[in-house]
Each structure stands twice: as C-alpha cells, then as structure tokens.
Structure 1
Amino acid sequence: MSILFYGCASSTLEITENPRKKIVKPLNSFFREQPLPLSKADSARMSHIALEYYIQASELELVGKYSDAILAYQRVLRFDSNAAVFYSIGKCYNAIGQGDLAIEFTEKSLKLDSVSIPALEQLAILKLQNIKELEPAIDLYKRIYALDSNRLSVLIALAELSESISPESAVFYYKKAIVKSGYDDEQVRKYGGVLLQIRDSLSYISLMENQYNFHPENSRSRALLIEAYSVFKEYDKAFTIIEQFAGTSLDEELEEYYQTLAFSIIINKDTNSITIIDKFLPSFEKFPTLSWKVLNSFAFMADYSGKKSIAEKFYERSSRLADSLTIPYAVSLAYELLRNNTGFIAEHFISFYSHHFTQNPSFPFLMGIINSNNKQYSEAISYYSEAIKRDAEYADAWSELGSLYIRNNEFPKGDSCYGQALALEPDNPLYNNNFAYALSERSSELYKAQELAKKAISLDPENSSYLDTYGWILFKQGNINKAILILEKAVRITREQSAIILYHLSEAYKQANEDDKAHSTLKKALLIDPENLLYIKGLENSK
C-alpha cells in the first residue's frame, strides 16, 4: 500500500547564549506569508514514520489488540487522511463492539474512495449488524456487484438478503453463486429452499440434477437428488439412481436413500407408485443387506403396495438383526409413522415389534393409540393394560387408560388410573388438565377439578385447552363472569379455533344473558364442526 503524507512547518527557534542564561528568540514564521513545501528528505522521513505506525497498528490488529491498534492508526492520520486507514479503524471498532464508530469510520473511508470493495462490504455487514435494515445493506452489496459481478461473497449475500423481499431476485443471485461455488452443498441447499418456497419443482429438480452431474461420486448430492425425485413423485428415477450405487454405497447412505423414498411414497399417498414399487420389489428381495433400517423401508413399501406377506418377510429379516440397541430407533420410527398418518403400515410395524420386543412397553402403548383413534376402545384398553404390565411406572399408559375407563362410565377405575399417573408425574400439566376436565364433565368434585386445572395452568399458562378446562369448571361452579374472561382468553390465544372452546364460551354468554354473543359464538363452533348435534340443537334453541 502506498501512503501519501502531508506535513506542516512550525516556527524556527534561534538560540543565543550569554554567560548567565540562554535566550530563546522565535524567528519570523514562514507561514505568516506563504508555507514552503517540505523538502524531499523531510517528506521521506515523515512517510517512513507513518509507515512504521501503520505496520505497528496492523500488527496490533493482527494479535487482537484492537484498542491499541486504533490509537496507532490514529497516529497515522496525523500525517495523512488515507482511506485505508479509516477502513482499518472501522474494522477495529467493530471488533470491540462499537458499531456506531465502526460505521462512522468506514463511511469516512468511502468518502475518500467510493469504489473500495472491502469498505463497501464492511459497511454492508455493519448496517445489518447494527441497524437491522435490509435495504441499505442490499444497496451497498449492489454497488459492489456493479464493480465485481463475480464476487462470491457478494452473490451469496444478495441472494440471502433477497429471499424474504424478492424471491425472484434471490433466484437470480443464487444461480450465479451456485456456478461460482462449484455447486457447494450449503448454497445448493439454500437455493433449493427458495425454489421450494416459490413452488418451482422443475427448477428444483434441475438444480439437484446439475449438482449430481457436477459431483457424481458425492453421496450428499445423490441423497439430495433422490429426495427431489421422491418429493415430486418421480419414483422411477429415484429407484434407478439408488440401484446404480447400491453395490458400492455404505449402509448409512442406503438407509437415508430408501427411507426418504419410502416415506415420500407413503406420505404422498400416490397410488401410481404401486406399479413402480412392484417393478423393484424382486430386486429388494434379492438385495443382500444387513441393514435393519433398509429392510424396514422395504417392508413399508411392500405394505403400501398391498404385498403384506412380502412385508412380513422383510420384517422377519429385520428382526434377526434387531437387538436392544435397536429399540429406541424402532420406537422413534413408530411415532414417525403415526405422526404421518400411515394407517395400516404403522399398525403392521408396531404390532410386529410389540411381539418381538416382549418387554418393551412402548409398542403396546402405541397399539393402544392406534386402536383408540380407530374407536376400538376395548382393544385399546387391552393394549394400554399390556403396556402397564410391562412397566408399572408408564405414566402415559395410566393416563390414557384412565380416559378410556371414564369414557366407558367406569369412573372409579378411571379416577384410579389418573391418580396413578399423577402419583408418578405430579407436575405433568396434561394429566392434571385431563383429570380435571373428566371430573368437570360429570360435575363431580368440582373443587378438586378446579385445583387440578389451576395447577395445569400454572405449569403451562398459555395453553388454550387448559384455560378452557378451567373456564368450564368456573362455569359449572356458577362463577360466570370469571369463566367468560378465562374462556375469551382461551379463544384469543388458540392457534386454530376450537369448536369445543367456542361452545363453552357460548354457554357462558347465554348464562350471562348475552344472547347475541352466545348465538354468534355458537355459529362459529358449528362452522368448525358442522355435524355436531349438540351445537345444532343449541343454535336452534337460541333463535
């Protein structure tokens, strides 16, 4: 870096001596008339001094002594107001967390050199960090882009900052950044996210194909391409890619590939996929894998295509590989199948492993959930009881069993089960709430119900269901005004409107003689649950 320094002269002193003392007399200053330029020797000497200060400041900055570096850089400014020095001072102020001063000195740098890319980039970052506004930063990055349209850091910054403001602009910058980065995984992932956001499936698949072609031996690029084909229902292409590398891929890679494909097929519920599954099932049966996860993925797809006997064979093969270390993953997989509403596939998997892992309570518990959801309540009671038999301290099973007994009007059994659950987990808000609501529905022990509901709210104060329970109990106790306040809050904070909460609020309004509010609130409940006879009858009576 070349630094130009400008000096200044001072009055010259004439020293005379006499025997007693020195007499110092100022000479006439040259500056009183016209400053004289420094000699070449003086200018070189001052440039040398400034350069030493600059080197010293840079070394201090390099070792993290930013405050000392700032002082050293400011010494340089005595000789020359150089853009690079202001830029460096801005960097140091940013490093010690003084964003305002960092911005000030970086802006001074740009006044002296408006096309300094490092200073423009630094100011853009500072604006984002300290002002939290996208537009000024985007404008700065666009200035850099006009100077250097291939600067990768700027392309990435513009793409990321444009995502929420203009996805189309983000696509433009990501396209360039992807090519410039050599299809970097992270940039591909981000660009793919934007394409999914704007629902451009063709461009998404094309992106993953291009990355795969750029990195054909990269397992991650294969995984992303398989995922793209799977999500957008091009299953034949996904199977073909997997089969190309099945013989050389690691088990962990195949597990990811097949599980992605299996879950996509199950979740999409695309019946056209059955023909494609049937095409590849023979190769699945011959595939010599020792991966428990791969075999279960084969079983899911066989089940989906209606080949239950083949699925059973895959489960048998997988069970020979299963041990106690497999249980946590098997339970997690079971929950994932239930969350994705996979029906008979989840039931087959959970039922099989309930018989295989005969000591584990999670599988009969999950079978209880399946049967309860299917309104097969006696079977559900049997499964929950089996879970408790395997583990007497399985609090969730006690709670679910309690709710089913109360549903069957077997109140002593239900109350006892809830009591067991609360004895095991007294601070579980769900158990407290559910038991409170069960008591309130039969107007039994309302004081006890109120205490349970209050405890649930104290543990989770912003839960609309818990507020509804408490408000309903207050209604049953005749505390109508307070019940309305609580139920209105429950309606206000719920993410999705609940018909039962609206019904309870309408009943409270009716009791308070606020008939118009009662009628309009009940109409909202009926819109959510239009076949509820209780709501229909209530609406007819309110006319």
Structure 2
Amino acid sequence: MTSKHFRRLPYLRVATLAIAPSLFACALVAQPAKQAEASTAAAQPDRAAAYYHYTLAHNYEDMATTYGRPEYATRAIEEYKLALNADPTSSYLNNHLAELYFKTGRVRDAIAAAEAQIKKDPNSLEAHKLLGRIYLRSLGDLQNNNNGPSQQMLQLALGEYNKIVLLEPNKVEDRLMLGQLYSFNHDSVHAEEQFKAAQKIDPSSEEVVLFMARLYTEQGDLQDAIKVLSAVPQDDQTPRIEYALGASYDQVKDTKKAIAAYKRALDLEPDNLEVERALAQALLNDGQEVAALKAFKDIVEGDPTDAQSFLRIAEIERHKGNYSDAYTAIKKAQDLASDSLDISFNEALIEDSLGHYSDAAQLLEKLAAGSEHTSGQYSEAEKNNRSIFLDRLANVYREQNQTDKAIATYQKMAVLGGDYATRAYQGEVDTYRDAHEYDKATQAARDAVQKMPQDRGLKLMLAGQLADTGHADEGISLAKALLKGTPQDREVELSLAQIYTRLRKWKDASEQLDKADALSTKPEDKLYTDFLRGALEERQKHYDQAEVWFNKVLAIDPNNSMTLNYLGYMLADRGVRLNDALAMIQKAVKLDPQNYAFLDSLGWAYFKLGNYTQSEQSLIQASERNSTDPTVHDHLGELYEKTGRLKQAAAQWEESLNQYQRTIPADAEPGEMSKVQKKLDNARVRLAKESSMPPAAKP
C-alpha cells in the first residue's frame, strides 16, 4: 500500500467461505458405494456420498438465492444433513449448514450447529465468526427496536470476538469490531487497546483513525480526537477524516479551523452535500452570512427537498432585513416539513419582523398550545422549547400593548420552574414597567422573591425596582445583604453600581464598579463592567471618557450589540461622526432587528444625516414595537416638524409628554420633559397662527 492513499475498511467484513479445491479430491475418483457393509460405513466416512449431497445442497442454495423460493432452502438444508451423515467429521459441511441456518432465519439451529462444531474443534474460526455475527445481529435488532443493547448478548459477542482475535490476530476488521464492542460496554481502556492494535497492523487505515477519534470524542476528550485526526499526513487525508476533524473543531468552538477542515473535505469530494451542510452552518456560526447564504443556496439547488437548508436561508435573509426573500424560503421549508416546530417558530419571527403582530401571535399561540402537557410533566428539551414559544409570544403581546395577555403567558412559563421561572418573573416585571404600571411591577418582583427565596437574581431585581420607585434605602439594603465576601459578589456589586447610577450617585456607582472589576478574573468578565463604566460617564455627560470605555468593550467583542447601540446613539445625538454612528447602529440592528431601542437609534441617526425617508421608517417601526417610550415619540415629532407635518409633530409631542408623566424619574433624563413641552408649545403657537391667517388669494 502506498502512503498516498488510505485504505477504507468496512465496519464489519464477513469472510467469503470459498470451497477448498482439495477438500473432496478423493471423492472425484471414488465411485459411489452400492452395497457397503453397515459396520464399514460407520467407521469410514463416505466422502463420495458427502460430495454428492453437498453438490445438490449447493445448487439448491443458489436456486433459493436466485429465485427467492424458501422450499429450495429447505431442500438445501436436507442435502447438507445427508452430506453430514455421510461425513460426520467434516467441519466444512457443518459450517456451511450453520451458515445456511443463519441465512434462513433459523438462528437457534445456527447457534446449535456452530456450538457443536466448536465442541469438536474449539479453534474453528468459521464457527466463532458465525456466532459473532449472530450475536452482532441480535444486538443491532435490539438497538433498532429502541431496547438498547442486551448485556447478555453483548458479553456473548465480546467472548466470540476475543476468540476470533486470538485465532486471527492480524485482521484489522476483527480488532475494530472488538474495539467497538468494548465501547458499547463502556470499557474505553480495552477499546483503545484494540484500536491501537489495529493501527499497528495498518497505520494508514482510514477506519482505524476514525474509530480512535470517535472513542476519544465519546470520552469527552476532544483534543485527543483532534490530535489523532490531524496526525494523518496531508497527502493521506480523506473526505471522511477532514469532515470528522471539522466536526471536532466545531465541538470545541474553534469555528475558523472547522471551516478550513470542511472546505478541504469539500475540495476532495465536491458533491458531498453532508459536508457542505456542515460548512454552511459553520460559516453561519462564524457570522459569515454572505458565504453561508451562498452555501445553503447551493445545497437546495442540489437537494430541493432539504427543508433545514431552506430554513437557514430564511433565517439569514431575515437577519439581513430581506423579509420578502425570508418569507419565500420559509414557505418552501414549510411545504417540505409542515410539522416542524422550528420552521413554524421562524415563520412567526418573520411575521413579527414585518409588523404582522396578529399573525405572529396566532402562530406562536398554536406552538405554545401544542407544547402544553395536561400532566404538567416535561422533559428538559420540552421545557426549553415551550419556554422559547411562550417568551416570544409574551414579547409579541407586549408589542401590541396587551399587558394582561403578556403577564398570563409569563405565568404559564413560570410553571416550568428553575431558570425558566426566573426568566418568566423578570419578564412580568419588565412588562409592567413598559406599561408604566410600576406598583404592579414591584409587587410582581416581591411575589417572585417569595416564590423563589433562594434566587439571588430575583432579589437583585426587586432591589433595583425598590430603588427606582422611591424606596432606595430598602433596595440598597436588600442588595447589600446578599454580599458574602466571595467571588460571587461580583453580580451584586454590578447591580449596586446600576442602582447608584440610576439614583445619580456617581461616586458610589464608580466605587461599586471598582469592586466588581476586582472580582472579574477573565477578559470577558470585564466586558459588562466596562460597559457600565461607559454608561456612567455618559450619564454625567463625560462623552470622551464614555467613548473610551465603550471602545474597550468593542475591542474585545466587536458584536456587542448593546455597546454598539449605546455608542452609536451617543454620537448621533450629539451630531458627532454621524457616518460612524450610523454604521454602529446598523450593525446593532442587524444583530437584534426586533429591538425597538435600536430601531429608534437608527431612525435618529438617519434624521441627523438628513435621510428623512429612512428615518421615518425606522422610527415608526420603533413606535410600533414600543408605544410607551417618550423618547421615540419625541423623535417622531422632530421628524414630522422637519418634513412640514406640524400637526403630526404636535400629536407626537403630546404623546411624548403623556408618557413622560407616567414615567418614573429613573427612566427619564432631567430636563427632557420640559424640552418636549417647549417644542409642543411652539408648535401650538405656529398652528394657531396658521389657522388664523386668511387663505391665500387665488392667482
């Protein structure tokens, strides 16, 4: 074998039982005995008769295979028996009879015949191989019926293949099968031993490398799996090895190397759609949407029945804002897999993105209803799916200002318990806050803490709510009581920093961030701390210092949508570096296209640039997703005034004031309400003057 190419071995190869040319050599010249003495026949095998009946048996066996007629198989068995009567000592005939029993489904007879042969000859390789195949088939049947491998059958198979390896020590296939059986038996030590023995026999075997890698993967030792797969010389790499290497890199989240491995696999086997699917998904995971979209489109061109690829196309097009193309792709996916929950959920997201809130709600209501169990018992996977459906449905209700429906939906989610309940209670508080029902928000936070008294996150939520609603001392005391002098205090310190920032206690907020920073041991741990420092500086109108902190966050995480939006809005609102501001906000919206605050920032950036058409589009979308934010209405008022629609501007400023009056001080910057009042007053004066002026004379 050359080193240029791997030899691919099957998982299990059954040796062909060829007829030995000399087996019945004596029978070719012998004449059939006509009147032999009974005593002589018993002592001396009648090889001529045995050969005669074997030939008939072999012919009947061929006919049974060719014509599919079981009666020929029965005749073949009878002839084999007659042949064995003539030559009872023939292991060859006994093995053929046992093999035929196995082929015709008479497994017990096959086992009996093989065991009889082993009793005569303990080292009968063919008999051991037949028993090994029988036990393997039984294992496979049990697994296919979802019964799991039978321990008894597994031990029998292990026993046979251990014997086979002793009798035939240099067969790679036997070593691989024994290694697999040890893997099934959760005996990784002996499995690795057999795979390494196979590798010594044939160092360039593709199957050996793949089995070794699979064993390490099953043990959770992905780095060893990568090491085994990477050790294969480049000239000997095969599509399967490169694909397995890409999958291993995927599992350790090394997406760049996964992409490279998948590309090499695809270069070796360009028409392999399975590899292209893996490559497309890896590209998508790496944020390479254009390349991923191209790959998924190539896949559906090769396989128009691939519903999952159509789904991915729809997701990418939705993220890019191409809602019409997304809708077309999701409909194709739905035609191919109408019962897919994932497809229905993504269709709801597209409807929501298009502002079709009723349609989105209807789809999500159906998914939520279908995920409900009257017993109240759910697996973890079912809990996860149901929580996603309910959470998104509650968000759609919030966008429609259907507060009661949103709360009821979160209450269904809370029933799932654990982290799902925590998220549900947080959703309830946020829903009430959006509706400016702050007393209800506080009560919901208290109820949540009472139901889950050990949940620190809920206690911190209540502390923040208390501080926002005029009970600052109580909120701060509640938060501080959670400090334990351990590294887990970081979450508490960050929450206290936010409380002090909203209370405009800048020095206290900065001190808490210092404490949180001291407990941040990883670079990613510092991201949120740095973001809060930037927000703290911005709230004090220290814009240059704020930008420094925000840029530190983006240097580590360029896709941090929260920071992109905050910095972009800060620049746009001041009319500074507007093109940079727009680019940052556009990126934030792409990352989270349904976030109303991001859409408002985008509209404001377009306004500052004088692009009033796109500004209006984004601001209207923002107001549709949250009609209770006074800033959004203020921005719309500015736009309408600038474009000569003074009545609409006044209406928006009136609504902005209405929402400011319902908003707690922590959610509004000082002086903003008076600015809006001044704009409204000026607009009213101008409207009054316009209405009092006589109509212009006709020319």
Per the shorter chain, which TM-score range? Answer: 0.3 to 0.5
TM-score calculated relative to the size of structure 2:
0.36
Flag the structure with more relative contact order, 1 or 2, with Cα contacts below 8 A and sequence separation at least 6.
2
